[in-house]
Amino acid sequence: MRYTGNKNRIAKHILPLILKDRANETWVEPFVGGANMIDKVDGDRIGADFNKHLIEFYKGVQNGWTPPNRITKEEYIDIKSNQDRDSKMTVWAGICCSYGGKWFGGLLGDRPEYERKKNGILSNHQDESRRNLIKQIPNIKNVEFVYSDYKSLEIPQNSIIYCDPPYEGTVKYNEVINHLEFWEWCRIKTKEGHKVFISEYNAPRDFKCIWSKEVSNTLSKQNNFTNTERLFSYCG
């Protein structure tokens, strides 16, 4: 699913590292976001997020809801102004049909610069988002989606916890976290017997970088940049 900071492009690199010693542990994501990691994992899975609309969206999709073929600019503005009316449509408009997957960051297809050409043909990004979601649905059918912040989430014993939190110093999501508290939480969970992995650009010194790769990102047609994605684990 289109989502700011989604890990779809790097999942093939980091999942083998995270899952290499997995037995029957539950896979837990406290920041499930676009579900672009959890949809590639088998077995028991828990996907949590503090965006209540996002969790209701996933539950709706699991129960057979499908998005409309297209939303207009007028509909987009109306949904943005009435976000509690229908969580499924709020997420569909606010994330899936917004540029870069940024929360109500501008309607895809509303302006020519939002459309990139493929073989001389303008792409229909809303249709692309719809097709991607429909393709993703079977892979998240059995995920337990939970509305919770990471600190309150109930985690089964000896789980694999993959964290993709809002990166420090980047565009803010719905959930604003205290990063010092987050890293301390990761230390505690590791000491409790969980295997904890964190995606971030940087981490405290007692966390080991086990993988890194330069990745290009796009906020707009005029705003392209490259950062080094890293995967960390606590080394004590």
Given a cut of 60, whether residue 44 has pLDDT beyond it is yes
Q: Where does the pLDDT of residue 61 fall: very low under 50, low under 70, confident under 90, or very high at 90 and above?
A: very high
| CATH number of the domain encompassing residue 33 | 3.40.50.150
Whether 217 is in a domain gets the answer yes
The pLDDT of residue 113 is 46
The pLDDT of residue 114 is 45
Given a cut of 80, whether residue 225 has pLDDT beyond it is no
Q: Where does the pLDDT of residue 124 fall: very low under 50, low under 70, confident under 90, or very high at 90 and above?
A: confident
Whether 2 is in a domain gets the answer no
Whether 109 is in a domain gets the answer yes
The domain tally of the chain equals 1
Given a cut of 60, whether residue 183 has pLDDT beyond it is yes
Q: Where does the pLDDT of residue 9 fall: very low under 50, low under 70, confident under 90, or very high at 90 and above?
A: confident
CA distance 207 to 182: 13
Q: Minimum mean pLDDT among 9-13, 150-154, 191-195, 208-212: which range?
A: 9-13
The pLDDT of residue 228 is 95
Whether 4 is in a domain gets the answer no
Mean pLDDT of 216-223: 58
In order, the DSSP letters of 190-204 are HHTT-EEEEEES---
Residue 73's domain comprises 11-234
Do residues 31 and 146 touch, judged by C-beta distance below 8 A?
Answer: no
Whether 6 is in a domain gets the answer no
Given a cut of 50, whether residue 162 has pLDDT beyond it is yes
In order, the DSSP letters of 40-81 are G--SSEEEEES-HHHHHHHHHHHTT----S---HHHHHHHHH
In tens, the pLDDT along 128-140 reads 899 999 999 999 9
Relative orientation angle of helices 125-140 and 52-62, to the nearest 10 degrees: 70
Given a cut of 50, whether residue 48 has pLDDT beyond it is yes
DSSP alpha helix (H) spans, 170-229: 179-191
